């Protein structure tokens, strides 16, 4: 009798807890009923769509869901018990990104925090606010202009590497660019010689790009978000190794900086003072808010975001110019006329003259956005058109969908730099193109990234003619994503010596 009563009591308590849980989320459920979206199952929501999907096909499946509702500006998607609202209309996106009610990062991104902590990209609290306030001014035009000498030095070495590939069969250009950019960022920001092009620090170089592969599956597969299940997966061991490698390297960066500062000097490379000098000062002066681990996390963020963005978009632009030779010749002619065919030490003044090359880079950013999605969380009820978004609802902005919207782009599935002619830009909603995000959380290194990409491209186009197969519509079938949009087949190109 007592056992029966105990069972009944436990059942009643569980039922009450379930009712309270449902009641606490009633606003989400009511909103969800008003919006289109795929069928949701108990406990896992729509995550069943990812059950038997390989990591490299997750992006394709997410796009399939979004593209299934072409006429709906908002789509609901339950990922486990979490409601995501997917937005792809530039009018809505603008309201979201400029609002302080949607400035917090989605809870889902806590898995990226394993590596980046409360850094510039993943943080939302006081640490993020303090760090961003002090770090953002470091990467303005002064830094960009003065650091180009570092870029030129490593690019000259990179050109020698590319010479070895002249007239050879097609191969992916990304890896070579990646090593060059790692050397540039290592000196310009961290103040250390990484020596990636010389084969040094391979463990760190690999970890800094492979850690995306262990984070992304956990973001979209709810069962991997369970710590116990994750601890038994092969991803856990890789996570631990990559995390330890990256932290160890950044720890050595700080140690090197402070060892030099103890002598009363600053870190100086080729008469240039890397930003690590100012970064170290910022974190020492704000140590009550920004602890040492936060320092390492921000260094990881600055390095990884800068390196991946510059390398990825430079490689993507090369690939696109190879597929669209008429655009390549137009960009090359502009360089020949405004910079010269043989100039090796490119300056900021050289770069800002190159209007057509700038359009080519922007078009590559449109087709291969650095981040295909932005995940945010509503911190207090937020009205957008006829919908009231309750607090704790997660928002997913589909940058990839914005960038391929046929209503905004004349040739959405083509590499067409003329999309960025003045007249075309004036007709288009400004939030149709947001490769560096926008609003209070916009990228602080936008100018540095764009300039670095163009310096690389000028050097490449001065010396080489690029050939690549197909058109964008062909490579679209092979796109994948971790944090950035990439190609499963890489960016294979053939190089021949250019005669200007």
- Known binding-site residues equal 443
Roughly how many angstroms between the first and final C-alpha of the chain, as a whole number? 95
Please name the residue that has the structure tokens 């163009």: 454
Give the 3-state secondary structure of residue 264. Answer: coil
- Residue 477 has phi, psi (to 5 degrees) of -65, -20
What's the CA gap between 64 and 403, in Å, rounded? Answer: 16
In the beta sheet, which residues pair with residue 74? 87
DSSP structural state of residue 106: P
What does the block give as tokens for 491? 């960016």
**How buried is residue 398: exposed, middle or buried, by Cβ count under 10 Å (0-12/13-18/19+)?**
buried
Length of the chain: 500
- Binding-site residue set for heme: 443
DSSP letters, 4-71, are HHHHHHHHHHHHHHHHHHHHHTHHHHHHHHHS-----BTTTBTGGGGTT--GGGHHHHHHHHHHT-TT
* Torsion over CA: 121, 437, 27, 84 (sign): negative
Find out whether 170 and 492 touch, Cβ atoms under 8 Å: yes
* Number of other residues whose CB lies within 10 A of the CB of residue 233: 16
Find out whether 371 and 484 touch, Cβ atoms under 8 Å: yes
**How buried is residue 274: exposed, middle or buried, by Cβ count under 10 Å (0-12/13-18/19+)?**
buried
Please name the residue that has the structure tokens 């400004």: 430
Residue 216 sits at the vertex; the CA angle it makes with 215 and 217, to the nearest 5 degrees, is 100
Find out whether 435 and 366 touch, Cβ atoms under 8 Å: yes
* Number of separate helices (H) and strands (E) present in the chain: 20, 12
Find out whether 379 and 102 touch, Cβ atoms under 8 Å: yes
Find out whether 284 and 294 touch, Cβ atoms under 8 Å: no
């Amino acid at each position: 009798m007592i056992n029966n009563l105990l069972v009944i009591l436990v059942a009643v308590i569980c039922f009450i807890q379930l009712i309270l849980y449902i009641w606490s989320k009633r606003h989400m459920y009511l909103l969800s009923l008003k919006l289109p979206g795929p069928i949701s199952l108990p406990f896992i929501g729509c995550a069943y769509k990812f059950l038997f999907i390989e990591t490299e096909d997750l992006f394709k499946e997410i796009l399939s869901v979004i593209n299934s509702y072409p006429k709906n500006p908002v789509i609901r998607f339950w990922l486990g018990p979490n409601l995501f609202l997917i937005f792809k209309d530039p009018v809505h996106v603008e309201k979201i990104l400029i609002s302080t009610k949607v400035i917090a990062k989605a809870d889902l991104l806590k898995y990226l925090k394993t590596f980046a902590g409360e850094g510039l990209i993943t943080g939302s609290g006081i640490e993020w606010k303090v760090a961003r306030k002090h770090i953002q001014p470091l990467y303005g035009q002064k830094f960009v202009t003065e650091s180009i000498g570092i870029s030129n030095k490593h690019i000259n070495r990179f050109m020698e590497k590319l010479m070895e590939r002249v007239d050879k069969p097609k191969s992916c250009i990304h890896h070579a660019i990646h090593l060059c950019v790692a050397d540039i960022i290592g000196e310009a920001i961290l103040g250390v010689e990484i020596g990636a092009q010389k084969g040094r620090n391979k463990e760190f170089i690999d970890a800094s790009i492979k850690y995306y592969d262990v984070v992304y599956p956990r973001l979209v597969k709810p069962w991997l978000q369970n710590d116990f299940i994750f601890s038994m997966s092969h991803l856990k061991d890789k996570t631990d190794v990559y995390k330890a490698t990256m932290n160890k390297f950044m720890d050595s960066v700080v140690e090197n900086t402070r060892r030099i500062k103890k002598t009363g000097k600053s870190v100086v490379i080729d008469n240039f003072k890397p930003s690590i000098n100012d970064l170290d000062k910022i974190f020492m002066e704000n140590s009550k808010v920004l602890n040492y681990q936060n320092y390492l996390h921000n260094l990881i963020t600055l390095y990884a975001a800068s390196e991946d963005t510059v390398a990825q978009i430079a490689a993507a632009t090369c690939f696109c110019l190879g597929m669209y030779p008429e655009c390549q010749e137009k960009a090359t002619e502009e360089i020949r006329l405004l910079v010269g065919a043989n100039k090796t030490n490119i300056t900021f003044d050289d770069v800002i003259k190159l209007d057509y090359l700038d359009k080519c880079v922007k078009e590559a950013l449109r087709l291969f956005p650095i981040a295909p999605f932005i995940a945010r969380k509503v911190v207090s009820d937020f009205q957008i058109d006829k919908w009231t978004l309750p607090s704790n609802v997660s928002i997913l902005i589909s940058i990839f969908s914005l960038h391929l919207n046929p209503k905004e782009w004349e040739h959405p599935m083509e590499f067409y730099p003329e999309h960025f002619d003045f007249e075309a830009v004036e007709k288009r909603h400004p939030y149709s193109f947001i490769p560096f995000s926008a609003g209070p959380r916009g990228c602080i290194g936008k100018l540095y990234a764009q300039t670095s990409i163009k310096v690389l491209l000028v050097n490449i186009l001065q010396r080489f003619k690029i050939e690549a197969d197909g058109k964008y519509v062909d490579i679209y079938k092979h796109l994948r994503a971790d944090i950035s949009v990439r190609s499963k087949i890489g960016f294979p190109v053939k190089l021949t010596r250019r005669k200007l």
